[in-house]
Each structure stands twice: as C-alpha cells, then as structure tokens.
Amino acid sequence: MFKKKPTASEVDGVQYRRAKTWQIICYACNALVGMSVYSLIGMASYSASIGYGITTAAVGIILTCTRILDGITDPLLAFVYDRVNTKFGKLRVLLVAGYLIEAVALYAMFTGFSSKGMGLVAFTLLYVVYVIGYTITNMTAQTIPAIMTNDPRQRPTIGVWTTAFNYLVPMVMSMVLNVVLLPKCGGTYNQAFLTAACNITLIVAAIGTLLVCLGVSAFDKPENFVGTKKAEPLKMADIVEVLKHNKPLQCYIASNASDKLAQQVGSQAIINTILGGIIIGNIALGTILTVISMVPSIFFAAFGAKYVGKHGSKKGIVNFTCISMVITAVMIVFFLVIDPKQIGVMGSPAMIIYVILSLLQNGSNMCITTSNTSYMADAIDFELDRSGRYIPAVVSGTYSLVDKLITSFAAVIATGAVALLGYTATMPQPTDPCTPAIFWMGMVLKFGLPIIGWIITLIAMRSCPLTKEEMVNVQKRIAEKKAAAQSEFYKEQLQ
C-alpha cells in the first residue's frame, strides 16, 4: 500500500504555517505590477529624449541619481510599514497606495506632460514621484513571502510562481510592445508608441494590484507582524544593526546586487535594440525567439524549487549559478563563430541553436531566482531568531538600499556605453548598421557582465552560514521563543 510522504513539519519537528495554492498564485500576480512597469520604465531613456529633449548623457545621470534615491527610500519605508495598521490591514493599504502614486507619475511622464514642451526638471520630478510609488509597492511585496509560509518545502514554491510570472509578464509585454504595437507606430520609438505602451502598462498593473490584495487578505492581520520580544518603535539604528550583524543578509546583498546590476544593464531597451535589432538584425523575430526560448524554460523553475526544498536556498543559488556561467560562456562563443544575422533567419540552424542555448540559459537563471525568493524569506526569519524582532521591511529595505546604490549605475552604464559608440544625441534604432564596436559592446553588456556578477555570487556564498540544516534550527528556536513569550504573557494576565 502506498505510504504517504511525511510533511516537512513531521520531518523537522516544527509546526510550519502554509498558504493555499491560489493565494500563492495571487501573490505571484505582483509581477503584473512590477514587471509590466519594469518593461515600461526600461524605455524611460526614450521618453526623456523624445518627450523632453534631454541628451543621452543627461538621461544616464538622471536615471542613476533617481535610482540612488530609490535605494534611500527603501529602508525609510520600514518606518511607514511599522506604523500602518488599519481596519483594512497593512499590506493591502500600502500596495494600493503605492500603485496609485506610481500610476499617476508614469502617466504624466510618458503621456500627460511628454512632448508638451517640458524639459529636464519636469521629467526628473515625475521620475522621483514614480520612485516613491514603486518603493511602497515593491518593498511591501518583498515582505509577503515570509508572512505567508515558513515551510521550507513551500517557500520555494512561491519562488516558482513568482519566477514564472516575473518572466512571463515581461515576455508578453515585449511581444505586445515590440511585435504588435511598434510596427503600428512606424517601427520606431516615438510619442505615439510611448503613450500606448504607458496606457497598456497601467491597466495590467491595476489588475495585478487587485489580485495581490486578494491573495494576501487572509494574512494581513496584526498577529502576523509580531516578534518574540516586546515591540519597540523602530529606529534608524535598527537598520544599521541589521546590516552589521545579519551575515546571511550581507552575503545576499553581495550576491544578488551584482547579479541584478548585470541583469538591469542587459534589460535596458537600448541594449535589447543593439542585440535584437542591430546585431541579429531582426528585432521582431528576436523578440519572438526570446519568448519561444523562455516559455519552456519556466518549467525549470519547478525543478529548481524541488531542489531548493530538499537542499536549501544557499545550495540552490551556488549550484545553479555555476550552471548559468557555463551556458553563458557557450553563448558568447556561439556568437563569435557564426554570423549573428543568421539568427534572424527563420528556421536556420543558427536560429535553432540560439533558441536552445537561450532556453537553457533562461532555465538556469529561473532556478537562481527561485532560490533567491526562498533565501530572502529565510534571511527575514534568521533576523527574527537573532534579534527577536519581526521586521521584514527593515531586512528587505536594508538589502534594497545597498542593492539599488549598486544597480543605480545600470542606466548610466548602458547610456554611457552607447554614447561611446557615438550615440550622444540620439538612441540606437533597429535599422542602424552593425559595426565591430557595437557587436563587442553588445556581447560585453549582455553576456560578460552577468558572468562577473556570478563570480561575485560564488565568492559571497562561501561565507554564508544559512544552510538547510541551520534553517531548521532557526525555525525551532523561533517556535520555542514564541511559545515562551506567549506563556509569559498569560502569566502576566493572571497576576
């Protein structure tokens, strides 16, 4: 007779909390907010140039400075997060408020004030308002996985769904914008295209916000935000203390920030134009090939989640990082030994090989993302065990501060790189010719930077103490401390 597999609670001796599958899926719909806006804001350099007459160099500086501001506002949100307690909850209020703020800013930036004779100051102010709204939405969303479940087998499942949505949404948005919308607007990035792209993005993000609120409603209760010690007002010193003493968080910052810098440079619209439009020579087909290689690779995330559930978040990050490095190195060699224009020829051997390599590359990257989602939730619980305080916004905000200070240079690296290629007053267009300088710049920014980031990841994770076995001990200690705190509370009530 088939014997039922023991649960994680039975194996580890810890009473884990779990979320329902539909709640996890609804939470993952946060990608409809984050990644659709991410797809739109990647075209901010085009909006600045076309709608506000700002030069390429100035665009890079503006986006870098506002990114730094974005990082500074992240830990500051922890103070707001700590104080928001309404009859409608904490999470839902912050999610809706954040969406409304960034929606107003994006509409004004890409449509309302664009091509209306406004200049640098107007664009910068609108971008700052967008950053504030984005910070509220993004930072609140980052705290949710740790609140929904602490089951080591289920946490990677959240990573599967979020990874799938985080890849699917920009893929679909890319298809809609570059394959459907761009040709209808003349094949170039112009004001009509930016306006339509903005309207589509805001509708998608609104739907995502409503779905996330639905998914977290059962967890948006005061009792889910308490620690094992008496709560005290949050102070700025708490942020410094967390950064100084939370070793797993330190390792995660070094690991993920370096990876995200490379990812954000490579995902800039101007870099994708260089690769798909100029090097491959067919931006529409290049976008389609990216989608074709992406969809099957999403199933890799499920394998990654199972691996992380069995071996832990740290081991998942390390092993899948090694795999990604090898595949990306092979991709570089592939571009060197073939004529990249052949990739843009439907049905050619070069196109097929490119799709296969992209599929493997995307699959391994998804496994890393799945591992990272689980790891951040682990780091939040590690802090609860270490300090006795449940401060998810402080942990995620501290990470985001350092992360964004580093990744703030993504836009300036991308715009600076294309400026070196001669694009000082205009941006690359899909119809531009491919020169050796453009080819090598595309290779370095799209494939070289990620390899450097992964090397940093492997070095950082060597000193990380958060193994699978240690996380079980962390959850046991948290359960014991909460039980002791509750017992002490009852004793005080009886006296």
What does the pLDDT read at residue 1? Answer: 42
pLDDT tens digits along 151-168:
888 888 887 888 788 878
Q: Which phi-psi region, left, alpha or beta, contains residue 84 (left: φ > 0; alpha: ψ -120 to 50)?
A: beta
Q: Pick from 71-85, 159-173, 307-321 the range whose average pLDDT is largest.
A: 307-321
Mean pLDDT of all residues in 110-128: 84
Say if residue 101's pLDDT is above 90: yes
> Average pLDDT of the chain?
82
pLDDT greater than 50 at residue 146? yes
Say how many C-beta atoms besides its own lie within 10 A of residue 23's C-beta: 19
Among the residue ranges 309-323, 364-378, 385-399, 404-418, the one predicted with the least confidence is 404-418
Predicted local distance difference test score (pLDDT) of residue 317? 92
CA distances from 373 to 80, 283, 316, 369, 485 (A): 23, 31, 11, 6, 29
What pLDDT is recorded for position 226?
66
Q: What is the mean pLDDT of residues 219-225?
A: 79
Q: What is the distance between the alpha carbons of residues 195 and 107, in angstroms, rounded to a whole number?
A: 8
Please report the pLDDT score of residue 478 as a whole number.
84
Are the beta carbons of 79 and 391 closer than 8 angstroms? no
Give the span between the Cα atoms of 136 and 81, in whole angstroms.
Answer: 9
Residue 95 pLDDT grade (very low, low, confident, very high; cuts 50, 70, 90): very high
Q: What token pair was written down for 140?
A: 């609140």
Q: Could you tell me which residue, 58 or 489, shows the higher pLDDT? A: 58
Q: How far apart are CA 318 and CA 40, in angstroms?
A: 32
Percent above pLDDT 90 for the chain:
18
pLDDT, average across residues 302-327 = 90
Please give the Cα distance from 286 to 291 (Å, whole number).
9
Q: Taking every pair of C-alpha atoms in the chain, what is the biggest distance, in angstroms?
A: 82
What element of type H or E holds 430? none
In this prediction, residue 8 has a pLDDT band, given cuts at 50, 70 and 90, of: low
Neighbours of 336 (CB within 10 A): 10
For residue 487, the model assigns a pLDDT of 63
Burial letters for 226-235: b for 16+ Cβ neighbours within 10 Å, e otherwise? ebbeeeeebe
What is the Cα–Cα distance from 329 to 331, expressed in whole angstroms?
5
204-213, 235-244, 399-408 — which is least confidently predicted?
399-408
What's the token pair of residue 148? 């929904």
Instruction: Report whether pLDDT(323) > 90.
Output: yes
How large a percentage of the chain has pLDDT more than 70? 89
pLDDT of amino acid 491: 58
What's the pLDDT band for 492 if we cut at 50, 70, 90?
Answer: low
Q: Is the pLDDT of residue 419 over 90?
A: no
Predicted local distance difference test score (pLDDT) of residue 130: 92
**Which of 141-145, 367-371, 473-477, 488-492 comes out lowest in average pLDDT?**
488-492
Is residue 144 scored above 80 in pLDDT? Answer: yes
Gap between the Cα atoms of 415 and 55, Å rounded: 10
**Could you give the angle at which helices 349-387 and 313-337 cross, rounded to 10 degrees?**
160
- Find which of 220-224, 287-291, 310-314 is predicted with most confidence, using mean pLDDT: 310-314
